[in-house]
Structure 1
Amino acid sequence: MARVGLKISRTTQVNGVAICKEGFCGECEQSYKSINISINHKMISIEDYSKLQEITVNLKCEIHGKKLDLYCKKHDIAVCVVCISFEHKMCSSSDVISIAEASENVKQSIALSDLEETISRTLVNVKHCINDQETALKDIEKDERTIKKTIADTRINLQNYLDELERKLLLNLKSTHLNCKTKNIEILYQLKQKENGLIKLREQTLHMKCFASDIEVFLGTCQLNKTIIDNFRSLREEIIECTNNRMELEIHHVISSLIKEVRQFGEIKVIKTNASLQLKDAKIDQAQIQIHRSLQNVGNISLQRKQKIDIEGSEKPFAGCIILPDDRIIIADYFGSGNLMEYGKDGKHIRDISVSTGPYGLTVIDTDRIAVTYGSKNYLEIINYMGDIERTKVQCSTACWGISYQDQKLYVVVNPQGIVVMDLTGKTLNTIDINVLYNIVYYMTTTVDKIYYTNGRNNTVHCCSMTGQEIWVFKDQSISQPRGISVDNNQNVFVIGRSSNNLTVIKHDGKDSKVLLTDRDGLNNPMAVYYNKGKNIVCLGLKETSIALYQVS
């Protein structure tokens, strides 16, 4: 036999009889095919046969160790002769057929076609998952580089800023020192002049006593005495007006707080997002899974009070409140003192930020800036509250109330225009009509793709698109005179009911709600609410004399 092993005759089952599995060369192949018993055997190449070895197909029964030579159509399973006697003795003879009969034309069967299609779909999904994870890995590396650069840039900016503050302070020190020194030198010079004059008078008196006549001494004594009295009076007046200047340094309270309270440069957070896996298996409704994930039951939301902050001298409800990125709290006392009040996370009063008139709406822009509306005064301000307080005034056509910041834009309730969209320079980009002419709309907030506002006249809460198209309207007898509004990470809406003295959470689709706090929890004429998405904390105006922080769970 020359050139053995070029082709192989595959083992098959014909009427329950096993056919050989042998290797042949080209010459032997012709002889083998001329034999009647093997004339129908299919020949394949050695290379193709080696691929078959990778397929793990179990030809024996896992229970009895016998060859799988029968097939039960009723239970859709391959069985051995022992299985028929035990597990399938109730199956009829028509249900049990030979494996050869069951596998006839199997390569053209729908089952094999479905298997191939399922494998192809699964392979596409796996490749998509691999690509998604590879992209996520690259993003993580990119995030690390970005964070490192941000840390370095922040340090440089902070250092440069401190250097500039130091430069200004040293210039101020130099100027103040020069002024104080000049005044002291002037006073010292005048006193020394007086001293020299008195020394000369004393010498003249001694000379007069020794060498002058009695008449000259008498007249000289009278004249010098008058001179001494005049000098004494002049000296006394100068001494009374004379002050000794000292210099001392008072470090700005923000820098002192930075040294005392800031314990770390920053915090690295892991933001978990669902991988964008677009599974295409017809048996898996991925859209339905995503919807199920997003439907959070508001009935499970609860609040636990973390802190209550009493505001001294407060007698009116607070119009607004926000939590800054460093956990400090800013309160808008529109109806009371007319100031912005700043409190630390420990509940201690830091300072009052003086503003031109009563502040109403508040929103956080970044780590240094907030935006404030002033109601019927028809303007708002962008305030840099770090260091020297800088302000950018933006004039509005009429009264401006609620305000929110989103994607480099300010969204402002301007009655009766609607919601005016403007950039940070105050340029109007768009106006969204929400029919505020005959309604009472004071409060609003935004997310990436939605706008939310309350209507105090109709006792309704509204959700609309960024173009103003209404998505849903919520109204329930439990909410009376809705005012402050804020949104959590799942787009569930937290709303203050001023007359109903409660805080309610509305499900993101507007179809369900839950009252979280009532007057039994201390709410009395509340207006302001703010949801901190970073730490899941609600800050609200509890009553006229206090605000409270609640942990959301």
Structure 2
Amino acid sequence: MASRLNISCGSCGYEDISKNAKKWCTICEEGFCGECEKYHKSMKVTRDHKMISIEDYRRIENISINLNCEIHGKKLDLYCKKHDTAVCVVCIPLDHKSCSASDVISIDDASKNAKQSSALLDLEGTISATIDNVKHCIKDQEIALTNVDQDEKTIRKTITDTRKNLNEYLDKIERKLLLDLKSKHGNCKSEILKILNKLRQIEKEVEKLREETLQMKRFASDLQVFLGTRHLNKTMSKKIGSLKEEIRSCTKNRMEIDVNHVISSLENEVKLFGEIKVIETMANLQLKDAKTDQAQIQIPGFSQSIQNVTLKLQQKFDIKGSFQPISGCLVLPDDRIIVADYWGTGELMEYNNDGQHIRDIPVSGKPHSLTIVDTDRIAVTYGEFEYLEIINTKNTSERKRVNCSDNCWGISYQDQKLYVIVLQQGIVVIDLNGKTLNTIDINVYNVYNITTTSDRIYFTDTESNTVHCCSMTGQEIWVFKDQSISNPRGISVDHNQNVFVVGETSKNLILIHHDGKDSKVLLTGSDGLKSPYAVNYNNKKKIICLGYKAGSVAFYQVS
């Protein structure tokens, strides 16, 4: 390849003349100055060679395309259609003896209109799809990076809070123990001092008797000594009796501590404050094929049998003031539940995960369908009111209104876009600023509910009793129709792209396999379902929120 600084004229260089090239021959792979270009064009053998400007050559300079045979070093003049490969004249007798004359054509004939060929279009499509796939994978890993950083913060806070709580609890039981020590020490000391004071009093009285005895012996008469001795003996007998009584009831108290065995063994038995576990799960990234937008590289676990899926009832609760089937429900990442009651009260309500009503979220119309945008925001459609809103659930004054051309029903969020069912239009794709990006031309006259994944769109058709799966461009992948479900309404999808659908008239909840070929009835009227309408599956918690009958919601754990 020529230098990035300048490209010399090849013909002049052969004559040891240094001139900068003005044109580049894509066949000869050589630069030509103005004069040599004229000469090059004047020759019959090179007259049809394509010449491009040096500036244009710079754009393809680093694209490595070998025009010579890698085996024989000869120019690639021929093309074998049978083996789909470019060959030189030496390759034919050696490697293509069995190829017919019609199989081998000139490379010029084979490369005609190459820029309009399906092969180039396929390549461009493959490149575009691969870029989208890589961007999707990058985004997925960026989210994973954000999540693991958040996990680190959460764990660090848990460690700090645990240590703080442990310290506070130890301080509390320490204070309680010290108070007990103070009380018992005071009681023991009081008892000892009480006895000690009595003994000291007896000691004084006996010392006094001894002094009186000595004085009586020295100075009293014999008669006084005789009578005094008997008197003092009686007194002394009483004192000795009192002393014996005190000694008999006297106790010696000592104090010791019996440390709780859990605390005393803490240092020996607890070697770690805790254990940090890394939970590995499959990323479930799916690569889209450029040609059909359907063929996918399946991730392990993607083909899990739906026949093994079971539901366990967690809770049921009634919606305040509602006597109609709820039109939409969501389980937010922080466990709050948002309920849209289009057919009943016309309210948008917030509940906690215990089924307690927290508040009514202010709305300007009757909310129909819901979708999660991010941790704080949801998007809401208003049906016949012909608009939708993006609402911050933690600051309801922060909202954006987007007008639609007709009734807007189902809504789903995916990759910074909203997919909205708009009557007379189809599925309208809108960015978060309200700009319409695309309209997928699908008959949505009887379509009221939609959900999406990174590469598929799902919706229900109440008139034809069908569930549809299509690509993000609207190309049909499969259609599900079965006698087990009639008047399909709410729709949601799990991490394996299996689809939950409620049948309003059939009074059931079914699960459709991601290929649309198999299904399983999960709940029926015997489970209390009566005119069910809304369903939402929380992939992270594996919980289904189901409007199972008029004015009531149920939660089921999926396993």
Structure-2-length-normalised TM-score: 0.49
Q: Please give the TM-score of this superposition, normalised by the length of structure 1.
A: 0.49
